[in-house]
Structure 1
């Protein structure tokens, strides 16, 4: 090799080495940048997950007819959100609405009729607009086996038959009065009860021969009662609205519980119990 060729070779090698160094440096910067971006993404994701984690107690005021389904959904909610606790107050919707209006602390209200929900919304105690999540209709509950052979509303007027009804101020009582008026039937009950579970329990305890309650309550009672359907029940189907309350102390958990009730999972629990879809 000539001296001139050797010089050219040395210059080429030096240039190649410099270029390689630049490429390595750029590659290192790119790798470092990607690593930093990835770390940043992980940090953001972790922060988002931490901020979305629910905890604390959710207090739900709910119509008595929702006892079985909401208790089940409450257990599901606690499993899905460790660290949360769902507590319930079940009763007549009008009584619950009055308690909320009076300042009783709660996050969620689920009523058995829009009328009782209106007590809460008119008082300015609701956060947002109530949403209907289920519907329900009446059925006659009789003693097991239906020994009095009750087949219609008119049969409830039989002499000596002890019939119990829901008080007219609660949704099941208002619905009862509506179907009785539609059928032209007048009843003199032995008692008026403050919620549907109390009315049903009179039959379960054999303190009454029959009662007008929701289909879901008859189903929940199993073989403790026998249900008798009647066509007039379609004249008084109750919508069930739910809403987050304005002074909810655990608003995020309240929203998530309502979302569960409205979800396919929640709707399945409700329809399996006999509720109608909204």
Structure 2
């Protein structure tokens, strides 16, 4: 009897411990399956990409999307310095093309246009680009290295308008902030950014013939530790679900 009892105890222990072991394995597997994607994105995508990230996570369980927003030139510098990231979305093809050795094949996911943002109600009665040269106005622009700054300089040059900005900002959101806070009378921003602050600023439309079109290319980064997931996210940005979010935010079709 004693011998029989001694032999069955290990079997009982194994049976009791098996579910615990299985539970540990399941937890470990679940943890292993989880991936966090870091996406470097142009500042003008801040609001819509927060929505896009949430939508993507719902349909891709186990994947978390984290965004780092900044001017495209700042994002490019981060990539060159080896900042850990998985995908990049810029507000111009020039910046993306300069990173060919660092990225996969880029895909344009959206387009944008410029507008003039003024103080609420447009108290200075700004009617168009030509007015931005007025000496009584405080105009703020993005720095020339920033895509929106480059686009802005282009449209002003084409209309032979000379502007002496009171400041040159590192990204489009900083320009918008200066105007919305009353620190500037006007600034050139993307139409989508002006839309996010429609209760704080008034916009003056720049006619298509005088405007510039901004392309937004997206690409995975070769340095990504999650290449498959990064490629999948970039592809998703061209799907109907993602495009509907971009259209609702005012971006144009690619």
> By the TM > 0.5 criterion, same fold?
yes
Runs of at least 4 residues of structure 1 off by over 6 A? none
Whether 2:231 is the aligned partner of 1:252: answer no
Scaled by the length of structure 2, the TM-score of the pair is 0.85
Aligned twin of 1:269:
245
**Residue in structure 2 matching 1:125, options 88, 102, 112:** 102
**Residue in structure 1 matching 2:66, options 73, 77, 87:** 87
Whether 2:138 is the aligned partner of 1:189: answer no
- Cα offset, 1:81, TM superposition: 2.0
- Cα offset, 1:235, TM superposition: 4.1
Scaled by the length of structure 1, the TM-score of the pair is 0.77
The correspondence of residues 135-150 of structure 1 with structure 2, limited to 5 A, is 135-150=111-126
Could you tell me whether the CA contact under 8 Å between 2:114 and 2:211 is conserved in 1?
Answer: no
Q: Secondary structure in 1 aligned to 2:182? A: coil
Could you tell me whether the CA contact under 8 Å between 1:139 and 1:233 is conserved in 2?
Answer: no
- Cα offset, 1:233, TM superposition: 6.6
The correspondence of residues 27-66 of structure 1 with structure 2, limited to 5 A, is 55-66=34-45
**Residue in structure 2 matching 1:107, options 86, 93, 101:** 86
Deviations 1:168-192 (A, max 9, x none): 0010000001000111100000000
Which runs of 5 or more structure 1 residues have no equivalent in the other structure?
A: 1-49
CA distance in 1, matches of 2:232, 2:34: 11
Could you tell me whether the CA contact under 8 Å between 1:137 and 1:234 is conserved in 2?
Answer: no
Q: Secondary structure in 1 aligned to 2:38? A: strand
CA distance in 2, matches of 1:182, 1:213: 17
Could you tell me whether the CA contact under 8 Å between 2:159 and 2:210 is conserved in 1?
Answer: no
The farther-off stretch of 60-69 and 226-235 is: 226-235
Deviations 1:122-161 (A, max 9, x none): xx1112x111111111000001111111111111122221
Which runs of 5 or more structure 2 residues have no equivalent in the other structure?
A: 1-28
Give the paired residue count.
224
CA distance in 2, matches of 1:131, 1:59: 18
Q: Secondary structure in 1 aligned to 2:98? A: helix
Q: Secondary structure in 2 aligned to 1:227? A: strand
CA distance in 2, matches of 1:137, 1:233: 12
- Cα offset, 1:55, TM superposition: 2.6
Aligned twin of 2:199:
223
- Cα offset, 1:83, TM superposition: 2.4
**RMSD, matched Cα:** 1.6
